[in-house]
Amino acid sequence: MIDRRFFLGQLGAMGLGALGAGALASCRRESEAEGPKLWTWVHGGRERTVAEWQREFVRLRGGGIRGVLVSGGDTEILSQTAREAGLEFHRWIWTLNRSGDQWVKERHPEWFTVSRNGDSSLVKPPYVNYYQWLCPTRQPVRDYLSGVVTELAADPRIDGVHLDYVRYCDVILPVGLWSQYGLVQDREMPEYDFCYCDVCRETFKAESGVDPLDLPDPPADVAWRRFRWDSVTGLVNGLADAVHAERKPITAAVFPTPDIARRLVRQAWDEWPLDAFFPMLYQDFYEEDIPWIGTATAGDVGALGGRASLYSGLYLPSLPPADCAVAVRQALTNGADGVSLFEAGGLSDAHLEVLRTAEITG
C-alpha cells in the first residue's frame, strides 16, 4: 500500500522450530511480565545530533515505548542511544521494494517485476516513482535478500530484523486512496498486476502446464493467485531461516488482515514463520472507523492461533491523542500483545501523555 512515502515524502520454509519458538517464548514472557508492549517506527536518517537522539529515545521510553523499528541512519549511534534509553533496537528494512538499492538497479535490472502489460517496475513504476519491486520467484533475489538480513542479524548492535514491503505491488489500492490517484479499482488492472517476468511465467508453466499470459482471465485463476502467494512465502521462509540462524527474532509489517493482504498485495502472511506481525490497521485508508481496529485485531489474533505475537499498527495522522488511546484499547481488548505507532515523528508529547494516563503501557 502507498502508506509510508506517500504521506511522508522521500524519507528514506520452516515452521516455528526450536530457535523461532524460543525467541517467541522469550517475547511472550517479557510481555506477560511488563504488560502490553508499545513500539514505534523511526526514520533514523533524519539529521539529528547524538544528544538529540538521546533526548528523543528517552522521551519515547518515558512515554511507554519499549521498542523501536528503525530505518536508515548510523547504526552505531542509533543503537547505542536507543539501548541506553532502555529500548529494543530493531532494523526496519524495505524488502522487495528496492527503489533505494542502486547496486541492484545498476547490476540486475532483470530482477525487477514485470506487469501484465509487459512493463518492468524498474523502468515504469506503477502509481509513484519509488514503486520498484524485485521478483520473489527468482532464486538470485532470494539469495541476495537472505544475505542482506543475515548481515543485519549478525550485527550485535541489532536486536532483531523487521521486514516491510514484503509483498507485490498493490494490484488494488485501499479504497481510501483511490481518489488520490483518480482511480476506481473495482477489478485488477493489467498495469498494476505483477509479476509476469520470464522466470514467473516459465516456473508457473512448469507447474501447471500453462503460461499465465495465456490464461483466459488471469486475475480469476486460483492457481495463479496461489503461485504468487507462495512465491512471497517462499522468500520469507528463507529470510526467517537466515535471521533465526543468527539467534535473532524476525518480524514484519503486513496488510491489515490475511484476506485483505491476499487480495490487494498477494501476501499470505498468516502462513509465515515469523516471531511477530505488525498488521497496519490504518482505518482511514479503508474508510473505516476506530472500532474496525478492534475487529481486525481479533481476526488477526485468531488467524495466528497463538503461534506468534501480534502488534496492531496504528496511523498517527488519523489518530489525535484521545482517539489514539481509544484505538490502543481496541487493539488490546481484542487480543493484541501491544501496538506499533507510525511513526515516531508524529508521536507528540500529548500522545505519550494520554498513553501514560490511560494506563495501557507496561
pLDDT tens digit sequence for 291-344? 999 999 999 999 999 999 999 999 999 999 999 999 999 999 999 999 999 999
Q: What is the mean pLDDT of residues 54-59?
A: 98
Q: Which residues lie below 8 Å from residue 213, measured CB to CB, with a gap of 6+?
A: 116, 196, 201
Q: What is the largest CA-CA distance in the chain?
A: 61
Top CATH class of 5-93+136-171+230-357 equals: alpha beta
Do strands 309-315 and 37-43 pair parallel, antiparallel, or not at all (unpaired)?
unpaired
Which H/E stretch holds residue 303? Answer: helix 291-304
Distance of alpha carbon 314 from alpha carbon 331, whole angstroms? 9
Host H or E run for residue 143:
helix 139-154
- The Cα–Cα gap between 318 and 135 comes to 33
Q: What does the pLDDT read at residue 153?
A: 98
CA pair distance 3, 360, nearest whole angstrom: 26
CA atoms within 13 A on the CB side of 143: 4
Q: In whole angstroms, what is the distance from residue 352 CA to residue 64 CA?
A: 7
Summarised one tens digit per residue, pLDDT across range 264-294 is 999 999 999 999 999 999 999 999 999 999 9
Give the span between the Cα atoms of 75 and 158, in whole angstroms.
8
Beta strands in 36-126, from DSSP E residues, in sequence order: 37-43, 65-71, 88-94
Contact 293, 283 (CB under 8 A): yes
pLDDT-based confidence at residue 232 (cuts at 50, 70, 90): very high
How large a percentage of the chain has pLDDT more than 90? 87
- Rounded to 10°, the helix 222-245/139-154 angle is 30
- What's the residue count for the chain? 362
Name the residue with cell 516471531.
275
Q: Whole-model pTM above 0.75? A: yes
10 Å Cβ neighbour count for 220?
10
- Domain boundaries of the chain, sorted by first residue: 5-93+136-171+230-357
Under the banding of pLDDT at 50, 70 and 90, the label for residue 358 is low
Evaluate if residue 357 carries a pLDDT over 90: no
Does the pLDDT of residue 92 top 50, yes or no?
A: yes
| Dist CA 26 CA 4 (whole Å) | 30
pLDDT tier, 34 (very low <50, low <70, confident <90, very high otherwise): low
